[in-house]
Structure 1
Amino acid sequence: MDLQLNDKVILVTGGSKGIGRAIATAFVNEGAKVAIVARGEETLEQARAELGDVLAIQADLTSEKERGQVIEKVISQYGTIDVLVNNAGGSNGTTTAETDLADFHAAFELNYFSAVHLSKLVLPILKEKQSGSIINISSIFGRESGGKVTYNSAKAAMISFTKSLADEAISSGIRVNGVAPGSILHPTGNWQKRLEQDPEKMNKFVENEIPAGRFGTPEEVANVVAFLASEKASWIVGATINVDGGQSRSNF
């Protein structure tokens, strides 16, 4: 299927590894002009070498100033932005009782406020064009308990934000949607580490918790993101789509 994304300018945060790199790869394969952002210089350079002609930007997206600089660099290179994929994220802390309040603030700054701020920064660009897409990568644990509480809470906020912004922006021709991955296996992810540490436990987890009978792949998430960014998804507005092999226990 031709998603008609050729020459579209795509910004992917957290684009140097895992799901983010797969998303960037999917857009490159569609002929788009891609910019990726990451904090780690080494993985960023590896991704740039693998992806080819992409704009690789090193930045700490917990910094309001650096978020603004990211947008400036993309505009300087490509002149515009058509699609923003808010994929940067991570988890910290343990239980609510044992997690410092500062860790909650840090989790929201990375997982939630970075997405809110970058969305606000690209909105004027997309409104001027009367077109474009914002896609927020959350998690099935944004709808139900399962991961660390800081992460769950931030991703729940992102799902709510996605719907709120979608209703606000669609009148300007801008579609906002989300993707909620389940347990995705990739070399740099937590599930890979857990699998290596205790294969028997992880195999039992898959058997008991994932009806499809396996972990998901980054490419399976990336394919949904690319579709949502395209005009083939023109009537999908404000949705956050589970990509989880049936893992989620939620029925909405």
Structure 2
Amino acid sequence: MNLNLTNKVVLITGGSKGIGKAIAKAFKEEGAKVAITARTQKELAETAAEYNLDAYYEADLSSNKERERVFQSLINDFGKVDILVNNVGGSNGSTTEETELDLFAEAIDLNYLSSVHFSKLAIPVMKNNGSGSIINISSIFGREAGGKPTYNAAKAAMISFTKSLADEVIKDGIRVNGVAPGSILHPTGNWQKRINENPEKMKAFVEQQIPAGRFGTVEEIANVALFLASEKASWVVGATLNVDGGQSRSNF
């Protein structure tokens, strides 16, 4: 299926490993011009070389100034942005009682405010182009309990932001949507660490919690991101799609 993504300029935050890396690979295979940004130079360079990506930018994406620098570098290099994938994120803390307030602020900065900021930077450029797509990678735990409270709160905010922004900018030809992954297995992720620590416990978790009977793959998330960015999803506006093998308990 031709998704008409050839030569589209794509920026993927947190694009050096895991889900972001798979999304970068998928867009590159569709002929897009792909730039990634993350914190670690070595991982960025390795991913860019592995998939022949078009640019990479090392940055601390919890910093306003660093985000502005990355976006300006993208515009200097490519002149525009057609697709923004807000994927950077992370989990911290434990229970609410045991987690310092500063950790809640850090989670909001990285998981949520980075997405808001990059979106605000991209929208004027996309408006000038008359089109664009913003895809926010959240989590099923943005809709229900399951992850750490800091992470849940940030991802819930992202899902709400996806809908509100989508309604603002669709009139300008910009579609905003999201993907809410369930438990996704990849070599650098937390699920792989847990399997290594206690394989029997993780086997039981999958049997009890994931109706599909296995962890998801990063490629399965990337495929949905490609669809949402493409013209095939032209009437999908403000949606956050669960991609979870039936894991989530919510029915809306």
- Shorter-chain TM-score category? over 0.9
Q: How many residues align?
A: 252
Greater alpha carbon shift after TM alignment, 138-147 vs 46-55: 46-55
Secondary structure of 2:162's aligned partner: helix
Task: Work out the CA distance in 2 between the residues paired with 1:3 and 1:53.
Answer: 19
Describe the superposition over 1:103-130 as per-residue Cα deviations: whole angstroms up to 9, x where unpaired: 0000000000000000000000011111
Greater alpha carbon shift after TM alignment, 42-51 vs 198-207: 42-51
Cα pair 2:35 2:53 within 8 Å, conserved: no
Q: How does 1:220-235 map to 2 (within 5 A)?
A: 220-235=220-235
Task: Work out the CA distance in 2 between the residues paired with 1:233 and 1:14.
Answer: 24
Tell me by how many angstroms 1:46 deviates.
1.2
Describe the superposition over 1:147-199 as per-residue Cα deviations: whole angstroms up to 9, x where unpaired: 00000000000000000000001000000000000000000000000011000
Question: Where has structure 1 moved over 4 Å in runs of 4 or more?
Answer: none
Cα pair 2:8 2:33 within 8 Å, conserved: yes
Task: Work out the CA distance in 2 between the residues paired with 1:182 and 1:228.
Answer: 18
Q: Which residue of 1 aligns with 2:32?
A: 32
Alignment pair present for 1:64 and 2:26: no
Please tell me the residue identity of whatever aligns with 2:79.
G
Structure 2 unmatched ranges of 5 or more: none
Secondary structure of 1:116's aligned partner: helix
Q: How does 1:119-134 map to 2 (within 5 A)?
A: 119-134=119-134
Describe the superposition over 1:185-222 as per-residue Cα deviations: whole angstroms up to 9, x where unpaired: 00000000001100000000000000000000000000
Secondary structure of 1:246's aligned partner: coil
Secondary structure of 1:62's aligned partner: coil
Tell me by how many angstroms 1:54 deviates.
2.0
Task: Work out the CA distance in 1 between the residues paired with 2:46 and 2:189.
Answer: 16
Superposed CA RMSD in Å reads 0.5
Structure 1 unmatched ranges of 5 or more: none
Task: Work out the CA distance in 2 between the residues paired with 1:78 and 1:33.
Answer: 9
Tell me by how many angstroms 1:49 deviates.
1.4
Task: Work out the CA distance in 1 between the residues paired with 2:10 and 2:151.
Answer: 25
Secondary structure of 2:7's aligned partner: coil
Please tell me the residue identity of whatever aligns with 1:250.
S
Please tell me the residue identity of whatever aligns with 2:200.
E
Q: Which residue of 1 aligns with 2:212?
A: 212
Secondary structure of 1:73's aligned partner: helix
Please tell me the residue identity of whatever aligns with 1:176.
V
- Percent identity reads 68
Task: Work out the CA distance in 2 between the residues paired with 1:38 and 1:211.
Answer: 33
Secondary structure of 1:242's aligned partner: strand
TM-score (norm 2): 0.99
Cα pair 2:86 2:137 within 8 Å, conserved: yes
Q: How does 1:76-155 map to 2 (within 5 A)?
A: 76-155=76-155
TM-score (norm 1): 0.99
